[in-house]
Structure 1
Amino acid sequence: MNTTPTEPVAVIGAGPAGIATALAMYAVGIPVRLYERYREPRAAGNIVNLWPPALHALEQIGVDVDDIGAFCESEFRNAHDKVRAHVLFPPSVIEKYGNGGFIGLTRPDLYERMVDALPPGVLVGHKEVVGLEDQGDRVVVRFKDETSVTTPLVVGADGINSVVRDLVWGLPPVREHNLHVIGGYTFDLPAAVSPREAIIRHSRTVQASHTGIRSKGRDGSEWWVLEAWDANKPAPTDLKSHALSLAKEFPPEMAELIANTSEDHIFRWPIRDRGPVPTVWSKGRVTFAGDAVHATSPYAAYGAGMSIVDGYFLGQTLNGVDLGDLTALGKALAHYEELRVEHTAGQVKLAYMLGRNFHHIPAPMRPLRDAFFDHSKFMQKTVGDSNPAEISAQLDIMGPNLHTPAPSASAAR
């Protein structure tokens, strides 16, 4: 049973990590406030994919997951549809979490479901953090509107440009991947596109992919094209036309999906992170979750999912802890890090490596690379077998629910 602190935990930033953290803490009886710089949470982008650990976390923290997305089988192919890898999850995971284990949905739908689960009074908008002072027995959080709160714990969940991380540790420089994504979604599906498949194709220089989605009872598909793009170069003026030009190397359904998508459902984002994931996340009464500490390229298709699972583990590891006892809090936060650092660091590293291998090797080496991917088991072993196994292992570490204590650090490895 929790020793109830006199003041709520302060979670900064109402993205997936922040909302999940607030919900998880509320679910285990820890008073919490979620502070957001805008009036309300705003979805950054339009498409998202989740893996089974995120779905388990959402369900346990009180989010309605009924018909939340399309469960898809996933394949990596070359531009001519030769299969390079089939993503394989254990049968037990497929049985529980749906065919294929890869879930497609729209980002606004995810935000809507998560925000709807927040109890009244937890979310506080128009609160932009400008200062923190850890006084040992509590933290003073100061806002731009000249108000302040005191709290036993601050969770910085305020994204890749985290103000909290900058105040506590200092922000490392942005690592530009010199890649960008143009993506969108439509419910007008070509005959060749199944809403229960995720097909990830690569040509010599471009990735062009599509994944089934579910949104408010409708089947559809999200799509994206990804290419090398100098971070200092202006964005294309016409995203749809640019995406169509990239789709020419691929089977015709890619161009059909893009052509069927309305302009307001098309979005672009440059890919960047903050470099390798730090080995220590917590300092005193402050810790971190989500992109604030492990910003991830979408090549992992796991950034939002890992952020949600961070929130789950914070609720689980802090359940029953006297937050007023700094020693007990420090042990709980160290356990949280032991459960999350290695896994998230591996995913960030893998995503960065895939982006480099597919888009930044010298042109003369690309035919050799593609021949290797086409005729070896490398892709199957890495993205088809080992990475799904690593993600599935998170379900065992998470346990059946928030109230079951997380395993020891040695068992988590």
Structure 2
Amino acid sequence: MDALKPIVIIGAGPAGMAAALSLHTVGHQPILLERYREARPAGNILNLWPPPIKALQAMGVDTQDLGAPCHTTFRGVRGNIRADVQIPEDVVAGYGGGFIGLLRPELYRRMLAAMPQGVLRTSQDVTSLEDYGDGVLVTLSGGTQIDAAAVVGADGIDSMVRSHLWGASERREHRLHIIGGYTFADVPGAERNEVVLSHDREVQGTYSSIRDNGRSGFQWWVLEAWDPARPEPADLQAHALSLAKRFPGPLAGLVAATEAGHLQRWPIRDRKPLKSWSRGRITLAGDAAHATSPYAAYGAGMSIGDGYVLAQCLTGVELADTPAVTSALQRYDERRVPHTTAQVQQAYVLGKVFHHAPSALRPLRDWILDHTPMLQKQVGEKSPAEIVAQLQEMGAGLVRAGR
């Protein structure tokens, strides 16, 4: 492999860190550029399914006690179970749970702890890219340039790299917002090691167990239709509490127990999926490629998977060989684009079904969800099957070329 030119990754979120760790694991030289003074999470609450846990383990991240293992059910407003997400027992045993709840800063801490010295460079703002065939010239503010073998744009939903490759695209407003938070309070009735995901006619109210630095607690969120032109609620906690009170059980108690600094709001938006991510020696990963509604509960997980698969596709590739590099990036597209596109679109559709159905149709929708196996088949059985398929498609792991 060409040891003279590094692979430059732009953006030190989960996708960028995963790409850097994975590429280093298989023997390449990554440089991870972050525009801010430190790699820092944009949010707090987080969930991960088994495929990203497998990827993290392969790239050398400590996943021991990373989060709380959880079993997931979708429930109606009366507490009735509409779908039971049935992850196979061997998968649950192998990856510390079918679904784990954690806080995003802890994932960053673990990934940064595994990062080789000198890979991450902060306060580095990329201003332009030039793919000249045998490499990519990366220009930073101030005029410094890096001659890279390849570039990975992991620079978020407003990705400069995506615009460079494929032109400008509009954000797709879901006309939804989410308010979420976490607490370590002992709230009566809260079920440990469970994700309780509930809907009434208009609102989703959810909580799950979390683990963070050895402490057990709960994360929660409420999600509703919201016109993006409207200002956000003046009192987020009071507004979240008014929504949580629509559901039976401990959700309102969890919201009430949350400290002021432990909750946040974000509007839900994405961009329409691309048919291709890669062009020449430049590609995309994470939100730059597939910004996703939280309805997928898989945004960070898919981003981690991107870095893992990218490294697998580039394992053993001679970086001086342009056809070999472009072929490897096309294989990366072939493995990731269909999977992530399906997840993005499913999340978008679920948001429409649960929050934007015409009022007259909502009673019929809820009767179908309560009295037919439709949701069980879609999310209780299909989603676990896709997780198992992803684990199989990921193969044995990351292997350094020549071993």
Question: 1:21 corresponds to which residue?
Answer: 19
- Provide, for residues 235-262 of structure 1, a one-character-per-residue CA deviation record: whole Å limited to 9, x for no partner: 1111100000101210141110001110
Is the CA contact 2:208–2:218 (under 8 Å) kept in the aligned structure 1? yes
Q: Distance in 2 between matches of 1:75 and 1:186?
A: 21
> Within the alignment, does 1:116 sit opposite 2:113 as a pair?
yes
Give the alignment partner of residue 57 of structure 1, picking from 55, 58, 79.
Answer: 55
Give the alignment partner of residue 306 of structure 1, picking from 302, 307, 317.
Answer: 302
Is the CA contact 1:316–1:404 (under 8 Å) kept in the aligned structure 2? no
Q: Distance in 1 between matches of 2:185 and 2:88?
A: 32
Letter of the 2:157 partner, please give it. Answer: I
Give the alignment partner of residue 135 of structure 2, picking from 134, 138, 147.
Answer: 138
Question: 2:44 corresponds to which residue?
Answer: 46
Query: 3-state DSSP class of the match of 1:249?
Result: coil
Question: 2:345 corresponds to which residue?
Answer: 349
For structure 1, which segment, 387-396 or 46-55, has the greater mean C-alpha deviation from structure 2 after superposition? 387-396
Question: 1:203 corresponds to which residue?
Answer: 200
- Provide, for residues 14-73 of structure 1, a one-character-per-residue CA deviation record: whole Å limited to 9, x for no partner: 000000000001111100100001011110111010000000000111111010001100
Query: 3-state DSSP class of the match of 1:94?
Result: helix
Q: Distance in 2 between matches of 1:182 and 1:107?
A: 16
Question: 1:384 corresponds to which residue?
Answer: 380
Question: 2:83 corresponds to which residue?
Answer: 85
Q: Distance in 2 between matches of 1:5 and 1:169?
A: 29
Q: Distance in 2 between matches of 1:195 and 1:106?
A: 16
Is the CA contact 1:5–1:152 (under 8 Å) kept in the aligned structure 2? no
Q: Distance in 2 between matches of 1:165 and 1:63?
A: 28
When normalised by structure 2's length, the TM-score is 0.98
Question: 1:251 corresponds to which residue?
Answer: 248
> Within the alignment, does 1:294 sit opposite 2:286 as a pair?
no
- Provide, for residues 115-137 of structure 1, a one-character-per-residue CA deviation record: whole Å limited to 9, x for no partner: 11111110011111111111111
Is the CA contact 2:27–2:400 (under 8 Å) kept in the aligned structure 1? no
Letter of the 1:342 partner, please give it. Answer: P
1:5-404 → structure 2 map (5 Å cutoff)? 5-99=3-97, 101-275=98-272, 277-403=273-399
Query: 3-state DSSP class of the match of 1:369?
Result: helix
Is the CA contact 2:25–2:399 (under 8 Å) kept in the aligned structure 1? no
Q: Distance in 2 between matches of 1:272 and 1:326?
A: 36
Quote how far apart the aligned CAs of 1:191 are. Answer: 2.4
Letter of the 1:209 partner, please give it. Answer: T
Is the CA contact 1:189–1:221 (under 8 Å) kept in the aligned structure 2? no
- Provide, for residues 88-142 of structure 1, a one-character-per-residue CA deviation record: whole Å limited to 9, x for no partner: 112321221234x011000111111111111111001111111111111111111
Q: Distance in 2 between matches of 1:334 and 1:168?
A: 14
For structure 1, which segment, 57-66 or 139-148, has the greater mean C-alpha deviation from structure 2 after superposition? 139-148
Quote how far apart the aligned CAs of 1:290 are. Answer: 0.6
Q: Distance in 1 between matches of 2:289 and 2:397?
A: 25
- Provide, for residues 368-409 of structure 1, a one-character-per-residue CA deviation record: whole Å limited to 9, x for no partner: 11011000001100010001211221110111211299xxxx
Q: Distance in 2 between matches of 1:113 and 1:92?
A: 25
For structure 1, which segment, 165-174 or 221-230, has the greater mean C-alpha deviation from structure 2 after superposition? 165-174
Quote how far apart the aligned CAs of 1:171 are. Answer: 2.8
Q: Distance in 2 between matches of 1:283 and 1:302?
A: 25
Letter of the 2:278 partner, please give it. Answer: S
Query: 3-state DSSP class of the match of 1:121?
Result: coil
Query: 3-state DSSP class of the match of 2:245?
Result: helix
Gaps of 5+ in 2: none
Runs of 4+ more than 2 Å apart: none
- Provide, for residues 121-165 of structure 1, a one-character-per-residue CA deviation record: whole Å limited to 9, x for no partner: 100111111111111111111112322211010000001000111
Letter of the 1:259 partner, please give it. Answer: A
Identity value in percent: 53
For structure 1, which segment, 219-228 or 139-148, has the greater mean C-alpha deviation from structure 2 after superposition? 139-148
When normalised by structure 1's length, the TM-score is 0.95
Is the CA contact 1:184–1:258 (under 8 Å) kept in the aligned structure 2? yes
Gaps of 5+ in 1: 406-413
Q: Distance in 2 between matches of 1:147 and 1:378?
A: 56
Query: 3-state DSSP class of the match of 1:149?
Result: strand
Is the CA contact 1:19–1:34 (under 8 Å) kept in the aligned structure 2? yes
Q: Aligned-pair RMSD on alpha carbons? A: 1.1
Is the CA contact 1:46–1:106 (under 8 Å) kept in the aligned structure 2? yes
Is the CA contact 2:16–2:307 (under 8 Å) kept in the aligned structure 1? yes
